Amino acid sequence: MAEANIECDGFYGPKTRTALIIGLQTELNKQFNKKLVVDGKWGPKTKNATVTIKKDASCNITWILQAALYMEGFNPGTLDGVFGGKTEAALFKFQKASKISADKLAGKVTWNELLA
């Protein structure tokens, strides 16, 4: 995530959430040409631009998912950008705890629950 220029202060709070959204917006623009304003705000355009990622995905968006899960208290293992078994298990536990569809897919509803 070096390209997104995200700084770390060791605390999960509004700045971390904003940084994750900036990273997601940046990657959605870069990988999928979504033409989002990169402002760190979770709005309808960003929500609607999210893509579904699943096991075996390997990209910066997976890293953002892993970081968001970790910040919510669900350990995906190493933050390596690879959607493996530990990430899938953490996602499943997060989805069940959030009372959303526990389908092991990171789609619009899951992203909204993580970042809204």
pLDDT tens by residue, the chain, 116 residues: 444 455 556 666 789 999 999 999 999 999 999 999 999 999 999 999 999 999 999 999 999 999 999 999 999 999 999 999 999 999 999 999 999 999 999 999 999 999 99
Closest-CA residue to 24 (of 56, 59, 76): 59
38 vs 30: CA distance, rounded Å: 11
Instruction: List, in sequence order, every residue forming a beta bridge with 82; answer none if it has no partner.
Output: 58
Report pTM.
0.90
Q: In the chain, count of helices (H) and strands (E)?
A: 5, 0
Q: Can you give the pLDDT at residue 114?
A: 96
Decide if 31 contacts 59 (C-beta within 8 A).
yes
Q: Which helix (H) or strand (E) holds 87?
A: helix 85-97
CA distances from 102 to 71, 86, 95, 105, 112 (A): 19, 15, 5, 8, 14
Q: Can you give the pLDDT at residue 8?
A: 57
Q: Can you give the pLDDT at residue 30?
A: 97
Q: Can you give the pLDDT at residue 11?
A: 64
Q: Can you give the pLDDT at residue 7?
A: 56
